[in-house]
Copies of this chain bind each other. A is one copy, B any other.
Amino acid sequence: MPVTKYSRQREAIMDFLMTRRDHPTADIVYQNVKSAFPHISLGTVYRNLNLLADLGRIARIRVGDGVDRFDYNTTLHCHFVCRKCGRVMDLHTDVPSMANGMEGRSIDGNLIEGHVTYFYGSCSRCLL
């Protein structure tokens, strides 16, 4: 529980994320927030994204391509990763998962606290 003071840069980062339905990387956030804060640094963007994610105000999404993505929508939902173009998007259809309900169970002595599922394939745009 870190103590936080207000910062205009952090607000701008939050505002930008709010406008996006995809899941921008830190660098994309940086490129966009630069129009309002020409001198903002990538380091500041990372520090704020990490802080906001730690506070639970945004979600950090890692689909295994080595880049962190961030999402204003913190409600639990599945993601779809296009193997051709790399886009990451929400899956709106409710995907039933037996993995839900595993929380708190122990398997082989390991306590399960959560799980991550994502689907991959070819996105609508790449299928054309």
Query: Chain A residues in contact with chain B, CB under 8 A?
Result: 62-66, 80, 82-83, 89, 91-93, 95-99, 102, 107-124, 127
Give A34 Cβ to nearest chain B Cβ, in Å.
25
| Number of chain copies forming the complex | 2
Q: A113 touching B121 by the CB < 8 A rule?
A: yes
Partner of A92, one of B62, B83, B96, B108: B108
Partner of A80, one of B64, B89, B107: B107
A-B contact pairs, 12 of them (CB 8 A): A80-B112, A83-B113, A89-B110, A91-B107, A95-B102, A98-B98, A99-B117, A107-B119, A111-B121, A113-B120, A114-B119, A115-B118
